[in-house]
Chains A and B, each alone.
Chain A
Amino acid sequence: MSRFLCRQLSVVGLVLSLCGLPIQANEIISEYDTHSQPRRVVSTDGSLTEIVYALGLGAYLVGVDTTSTYPKAVTELPQVGYKRALSVEGVMSLMPDVVLTTDDSGPPIVIEKLQQVGITIQNYSASPDLSVIKDKIIGVANELGVPKKGETLWAKVSSQIESAISRPLPDKPVKVLFVLSFSDRSPMVAGSDTSANMMINLAGGVNAASTLMGYKPISTEALIGLEPDVILMMDGRNPTVSAGMLFSSPGFDQIPASVEKRLITMDGMMLLGLGPRTGLAISQLNQALYPSQSLASVKSERLQ
């Protein structure tokens, strides 16, 4: 029986010592008071993080989510985790004045509770639409008290987008297939109603998988049937996927893209994030799609 009691006591001791560790006897909690201008910002979206930096206010950021990867400095900041699985207390412990979110951020109950404790939530659309960029830039700049800087940034970004989409294009556009993930099983590709689809169209390509809706896995046969001229992927995520590997795998070795091994990789956040680098992304993709083109006609009004 004494062994039994010892065990109980040791369990108590273990639990106590485990849980006692993070407790410190200092009082850091401060009241949330409303600043006239937010100085502490948590961003839960990579594009919003980029905008804060592009406005020159990177020092305001006190926490970012896992989709925030650019610029490099954000990797030093505290991580609030994946944006759909935020923690109330985790975000609160960073004591932000404002949390920047998109429609994807959540769970809703967490956002609700953050609002209840007096944290401002600035929410932006997550739909694949160019107009979202302007909303985000102007909105973030106003919230952080630098509306002028916001207008300057939007002017710069919109002129980049304008010039990127007004580049002359050949008569016959190339068929591009965006591959979100490539493994030994069915590749996941971007259909219509995705930001990848929008970017391909803006860069003067045609989405080979536009008959699909959203991101869908497809079979080897369907892949061959799509006949893409170019494969577009995100870099950083699949560092091991090289053109050699990709175009020797079943299905990919029988598509037109495999003839010249045309694989374009781009930074995922830059390509799909609808942030301040969107204009650069369009022109970079455009140049990669049509490296040495015989310019025939100018596509116009693709912004609408």
Chain B
Amino acid sequence: MTSYQKATLLTDGGVAKARAWKGQVCVVSLSVVLFVVLLISMATGPLDIPVNTVFSLLVSYIGVDQSVSPAVVQVIESIRLPRAVLGLLVGSALAVSGATIQGVFRNPLADPTLIGVSGGAALAAVTVVVFGHTFIAYLPGWLQNYALLIAAFTGGLLVTLLVSHIATSALGMSISTLLLAGIAIGIITMSGVGVMTYLADDTQLRTLTFWQMGSLGGATWGLVVAAATLIIPACLLMMRYATRLNAMLLGEAEAGHLGVNVQLVRRRLIIFSALAVGASVAVSGMIGFVGLVIPHLVRMTIGPDHRYLLPASALAGALFLLVADMVARTLLSPAEIPIGLVTAIIGGPFFIGLIIYRGQHGAF
């Protein structure tokens, strides 16, 4: 055990133990709920598939022979499951990155938009929507369908690198400069999106409006695998830095004295969250609210210890997006609501209610 790990544990034994227990309970119960909701979401949709059919299908995977009609199998395996898994990935990516960035900035109002990743991804994606027809035809066939995804991902990553480069001086990266650079670059990318919107024709305009509202409707297994190879490692890497993030909560100098290389940790965490968020935005468009508020909710419940905060945020973000997508798919069926609207419409008032409750009853 290194010195900073000891320090975070030994500050107040009783409180720390109680919180750790709470954190473990929270992670376990969230996992159980998530599994149940995943099953429910398999049985929820415009097409009527009863829960027991889903169970029969699951049992048939284990080897017990069950008669499930091929049409149902196809709906679940090629439409609902990839979409649900994509929702899980995107939800955890956004929530874990949100929690990490809030830790890096030591500010509960921070979210991944501050490091420019969403803005960069949006600008690149919108550029492809508007000007894509001029160059997509020259790309190799397998690339054409993914041009928008790849552009969004690289755009997000490049802008994040630019922001962190601007914020780094000879003395290292300063958080206040990072914040200012992030805000300034955010404004520039958004005006870039505005320029593209102006140049877009009528149909492109509708496409990019819908893209900005987010959707998991494009889910295929190929997309899920692509997203997973970026999101899962990035999230796991962020979780490895949990104790160092805890130390950094004490303050930059204090973390340094505890043996944390603050500059290095900060730079790496920014890159990891840019990878995770960039991949999410590329596959699902802009889904707001999750990155800012889910870590908040979790922190209000189990406290700021990142060892539990990060995994619990991942589970809560996945759960939230899964439920939001069920609403998006079924509420106006057979039509579909963009999921970004659902997350904001459910999430906003819920969060306000929680803040009011907290104000009246004190922290949980």
Instruction: Assess the A215–B329 pair: CB atoms within 8 A.
Output: no
Is A296 at the interface (CB under 8 A from chain B)?
no
Is B330 at the interface (CB under 8 A from chain A)?
yes
Across the interface, which residues of B come within 8 angstroms of A81, CB to CB?
332, 334-336
Query: What mask results when residues 16 to 45 of chain A are scored 1 for a CB within 8 Å of chain B, else 0?
Result: 101110111111111110000000000000
Instruction: Assess the B79–A84 pair: CB atoms within 8 A.
Output: no
Instruction: Assess the B334–A93 pair: CB atoms within 8 A.
Output: yes
The A-B contact count (CB < 8 A) is 144
Is B191 at the interface (CB under 8 A from chain A)?
no
Query: Are A113 and B78 also in contact (CB < 8 A) when A25-B50, A82-B206 are?
Result: yes
Query: Are A88 and B79 also in contact (CB < 8 A) when A22-B330, A109-B220 are?
Result: yes
Is A52 at the interface (CB under 8 A from chain B)?
no
User: How many angstroms between the C-alpha atoms of A7 and B332 in the bound complex?
Assistant: 30
Query: Are A15 and B33 also in contact (CB < 8 A) when A87-B336, A90-B336, A104-B203 are?
Result: yes
Query: Are A107 and B43 also in contact (CB < 8 A) when A79-B334, A85-B210, A90-B333 are?
Result: no
Is A92 at the interface (CB under 8 A from chain B)?
yes
Instruction: Assess the A85–B48 pair: CB atoms within 8 A.
Output: no
Count class of interface residues, chain B? 35 or more
Across the interface, which residues of B come within 8 angstroms of A108, CB to CB?
145
User: 9 tightest A-B contacts by CB?
Assistant: A81-B335, A90-B334, A93-B46, A87-B336, A214-B201, A19-B40, A93-B47, A28-B48, A215-B202
User: Knowing that A3-B364, A11-B33, A88-B217 are A-B contacts, what are 13 other residue pairs whose CB atoms are under 8 Å apart, sorted by A's residue number?
Assistant: A4-B301, A15-B36, A15-B319, A23-B43, A24-B48, A27-B48, A78-B334, A81-B336, A87-B329, A89-B47, A89-B79, A93-B46, A93-B48
Which of A's residues lie within 8 Å of B, judged by CB? 1, 3-5, 7-8, 11-12, 15-16, 18-20, 22-32, 63, 78-82, 84-94, 104, 106-110, 113, 116-117, 180, 213-215, 217
Which of B's residues lie within 8 Å of A, judged by CB? 22, 25-26, 29, 33, 36-37, 40-41, 43-53, 69-72, 74-75, 78-80, 145, 198, 201-203, 206-207, 210, 215, 217-218, 220, 301, 319, 323, 326, 329-330, 332-336, 338, 364
